[in-house]
Structure 1
Amino acid sequence: MASHAFRDTRFPLLHGAGAMPAVGFGTLFRDLSVTTEAITAALDAGFRHFDCAERYRNEAQVGVAFREAMDLWKVRREELFITTKLWNTNHRPERVLPAFEASLRRLQVDYVDSYLIHTPFAFQPGEEQDPRDEQGRVIYDTGVTLLDTWRALEQLVDSGRCRSIGLSDVSLPALQAIVAEARIKPAVVQIEAHPYLPEWEMVEFCRQHGIVVLAFAPLGHAMEPNVLEEPVLTEIAQRLGRTPAQVALAWSVQRGVAFLTTSTSPAHMRENFALEPLPESAMDEIRERIETRVRFNSVVETGVPGFIPRKK
């Protein structure tokens, strides 16, 4: 398989909702002021799949980059795969459509290719994204179920402005419950996944049900233990004349998992986009020889995003 064909891999979505580019770009930045410039650079590097969220508070800046690129004829809307996400404070069904429409306005698009429930945890509804009580504890909303919220997302698909729907930061049991009850099945599941957290059981369940798995932190988010310093990956990279990042990302695509990387460095963007397939022997090595297992983000347990500082 030629490298250009490999990095342009697309995974078809359920219900004829198109296909997701396996190589994606995340839009969460510590410094929101870099957003428009970074998205523009990512478009120039070749990325066409972008993952956004109202929680990131920068959809408007992402939208500026999209609009400028389309106005300059650098890219057509139909070439882009745009995902955004419903935040925890908008889980009540009556809040879903207004939140969705607000994201469309900020992104300056008429539709999105995928709309995800950011986490399965409903927070107290309101404008405060991180509602806390006097003791600093998250205030959850017990008046709505995940299935209630899912039903509202199904209506967005019916409207034609949302091509596909899915879940993020979800456990396998919660996903199974939605799959069992949904009228429109999840097309996408976004989870933390990398060689230290391969999530084989989730990947296999999704494969059986035609659901695309989308990995965030596919390189470990520079946390300790550092995925990119894993000896198995560095050995393979040296042998093949590639970087450990390119090995880890190719491994993801080759096992059928799309991924998101985020960078403000055009050089890193180009590195993460320039992928070639791995020999099957390397795929076997990664699966059989890497024994470290660690989750870097606790969001799946609480609904509160946050990478956990660790030491080796």
Structure 2
Amino acid sequence: MSYESFYDDLRDTRFALNHGAVEMPAVGFGTLFRDLSVTTQAVKDALDAGFRHFDCAERYRNEDSVGVAIKETLEGGKIRREDLFITTKLWNTNHRPERVQPAFEASCRRLQVDYIDCYLIHTPFAFQPGDNQDPRDEQGNVIYDSGVTLIETWRALERLVDEGRCRSIGLSDVTLPALQAIVAEARIKPAVVQVESHPYLPEWELLEFCKQHGIIVLAFAPLGHGMEPNVLEDEVITWIARRVQKTPAQVALAWAVQRGVAFLTTSATPSHIRENFDISTLPHRAMLEIKEEITTRIRFNSVVETGVPGFIPRKK
């Protein structure tokens, strides 16, 4: 049984957020690069390919380079600010309520925007406040900040929404229990939760909870970040890719959007950027195969346990 590939509008999917009259494009572009010098050109290439959702963070140390690409593109007149969905994140060293607004304002300045579409708490872990983003003791251990709770930080984000320059707020790198605790107490519910998710880490339980509360799940590493075991070499994925005449990456990304998950991919290679945008709807049977036949379960990034981002290399 073969399927004709056909143009459809899956790549144009937008998810309505639960507060603010905002819609998030399901197809998103992440801006965490090993080589920061590629940032501006990569963002321009992504805009040219059709991406309108950009995920940034103070911790990535390149918001200013993203800002240059956005400003030049907007000045070109083909794209308007309201066509874009820009997310950035509050870093762990700025969890104390009095540090939240200054951190937010600094991100806006670097990105050269008047407002942010979504502001996320980068991880639920508070680090020692200060200018050092990675505070460590003499033994090399992270210095955490026990003087602030996650709900206190969340209340400061709620105030940003009240003031109008932050359209929506959310959490990143959070476990389901931590998310449930915030949802129970929040005045303004999280609109977005960004977590690692791919066919080897489908996060069905978290997704179900988020759907019940109108929260969008935003997947990072939706292709498994090139780690072993390699999601893109999975037999189920590669077999579907051959059948539908798409690449394994396009299959994994379509799977995300069709199950109601937005995703972020990152590349500085124009052909990969275009490939990641060019997704098409999978047949129902393919969706079932991915859900039922892929049994590998693995988390590639340990940030949810420590607050320190980092992919864990594994041997085959």
Which residue in the other structure is 1:305 paired with?
309
SS in 1 for 2:9: helix
Task: After TM superposition, give the deviation of residue 3 of structure 1 in Å.
Answer: 3.7
Of the candidates 86, 93, 96, which is equivalent to residue 89 of structure 1?
93
Q: Distance in 1 between matches of 2:126 and 2:224?
A: 27
Task: After TM superposition, give the deviation of residue 73 of structure 1 in Å.
Answer: 1.0
Which residue in the other structure is 1:127 paired with?
131
1:69-148 correspondence to structure 2 within 5 Å: 69-148=73-152
- Structure 1's unaligned 5+ residue stretches are none
2:8–2:281 contact (8 Å) kept in structure 1: no
Q: Distance in 1 between matches of 2:255 and 2:142?
A: 37
Task: After TM superposition, give the deviation of residue 129 of structure 1 in Å.
Answer: 0.1
Of the candidates 176, 179, 201, which is equivalent to residue 172 of structure 1?
176
Percent of matched pairs sharing the same residue: 78
Q: Residues 2 and 12 from structure 1, CA distance in 2 versus in 1: closer, same or farther, beyond 3 angstroms?
A: farther
Of the candidates 31, 43, 47, which is equivalent to residue 35 of structure 2?
31
Normalised TM-score (structure 1): 0.99
Q: Distance in 1 between matches of 2:184 and 2:7?
A: 38
Q: Distance in 2 between matches of 1:288 and 1:138?
A: 40
Task: After TM superposition, give the deviation of residue 251 of structure 1 in Å.
Answer: 0.2
Task: After TM superposition, give the deviation of residue 4 of structure 1 in Å.
Answer: 4.4
Deviations 1:71-95 (A, max 9, x none): 1113110000000000000000000
1:17–1:164 contact (8 Å) kept in structure 2: no
Runs of 4+, deviation exceeding 2 Å: 1-4
Deviations 1:174-226 (A, max 9, x none): 00000000000000000000000000000000000000000000000000000
Task: After TM superposition, give the deviation of residue 248 of structure 1 in Å.
Answer: 0.2
Q: Distance in 2 between matches of 1:109 and 1:4?
A: 32
Q: Distance in 1 between matches of 2:129 and 2:281?
A: 45
1:3–1:274 contact (8 Å) kept in structure 2: no
Which residue in the other structure is 1:289 paired with?
293
1:206-217 correspondence to structure 2 within 5 Å: 206-217=210-221
Question: How many positions carry a matched residue from both structures?
Answer: 312
Task: After TM superposition, give the deviation of residue 2 of structure 1 in Å.
Answer: 6.9
Of the candidates 225, 236, 241, which is equivalent to residue 232 of structure 1?
236
Of the candidates 191, 204, 222, which is equivalent to residue 195 of structure 2?
191
Q: Residues 137 and 213 from structure 1, CA distance in 2 versus in 1: closer, same or farther, beyond 3 angstroms?
A: same
Residue 10 (structure 2) pairs with residue 6 (structure 1):
yes
Amino acid in the other structure paired with 1:265: T
- Structure 2's unaligned 5+ residue stretches are none
Which residue in the other structure is 1:279 paired with?
283
Q: Distance in 1 between matches of 2:253 and 2:36?
A: 26
SS in 2 for 1:110: coil
